[in-house]
Structure 1
């Protein structure tokens, strides 16, 4: 821990994590896996103590740590857990009424976190699309109540997808070329 130099440890960890956070790699001995383990160790070590680091540096580290968890869950197809993790992070909206508050929060995000937002948006949209196609493909019994429930769930997933594409179009960040196109394409496929 560099003798109580929390600021430097958290900044270095954030710099390393941002390079690997969205890379899906389940190999136990991979650099990403080792970094993820070390981030968990640092988190455990720093919990409950007064950090000698700025609030922004600490927030960036913990946000990137949570994104490592999110992308691990995404890679393992633990979609509901991944959605819960991303919802707790408050990085992207999953409801239309969350767009404006999250757009305001976007302005306060560290550059390291902002750089990962396109990958977060795409992974989240992939999760929603996967859930949508799975639900759409399930056999429907003749029970009318089930059909209403299923249609309600499909509409709920479409609303979440629409919130993501709307947010992506509103945030003041130049997304990589095909990010918006891919988001819109998946939303269209859900309608």
Structure 2
């Protein structure tokens, strides 16, 4: 079952990063997650955790593309997969080696989307801008400190967004 989960995670990660809207990989992943829940102990906890995380992130991206931004931020806060406070960055960086390959594939798009969400929220709620600037700073620090190279297009977009928070 672990091989099936790994393949489903690969497909789901590719679906998210290539912005494929047919949702076939997501449907397969959700179906497989149901099997995992009914058949406890059949697969490793690590494989299941990765599957559930990627399903949640695919939900995040569905909401993001539907412009349900508040729901997106709630998902990110609950998942705790990105630092949202500069004080958390070092802990996230030191545990980066535990991040799955599929999550690493999704990470650049996720960071970019969250930065855009933060910018959107700053323009809507100027009274919360200090807190939001700290969130953006945390993500920028994280991107700069992790031992993973983002695609140059996403890196330059994140750097451009950084100017809005200075």
The question of a shared fold, defined as TM-score above 0.5 by the shorter chain, is answered with yes
Structure 2: 5+ residue stretches without partners: none
Query: In the alignment, what sits opposite 2:12?
Result: 17
TM-score, normalization: structure 1? 0.79
Distance in 1, matches of 2:115 and 2:84, equals: 10
Deviation sequence 1:42-62 (CA, Å, 0-9, x none): 223322532322333222222
Query: Which of these two proteins has the greater Rg computed from alpha carbons?
Result: 1
Distance in 1, matches of 2:56 and 2:130, equals: 28
Query: In the alignment, what sits opposite 2:119?
Result: 129
> Structure 2 matches for 1:75-94, cutoff 5 A?
75-94=65-84
- Which of 4, 12, 25 is equivalent to 1:35? 25
Report if aligned partners of 2:36, 2:48 keep a CA contact under 8 Å in 1.
no
Report if aligned partners of 1:95, 1:159 keep a CA contact under 8 Å in 2.
yes
Distance in 1, matches of 2:153 and 2:25, equals: 29
In structure 2, the residue corresponding to 1:122 is in which secondary structure? helix
CA RMSD of aligned residues (A): 1.8
Query: In the alignment, what sits opposite 1:155?
Result: 130
Distance in 2, matches of 1:127 and 1:94, equals: 12
Distance in 1, matches of 2:46 and 2:125, equals: 40
Structure 1: 5+ residue stretches without partners: 1-5, 137-149
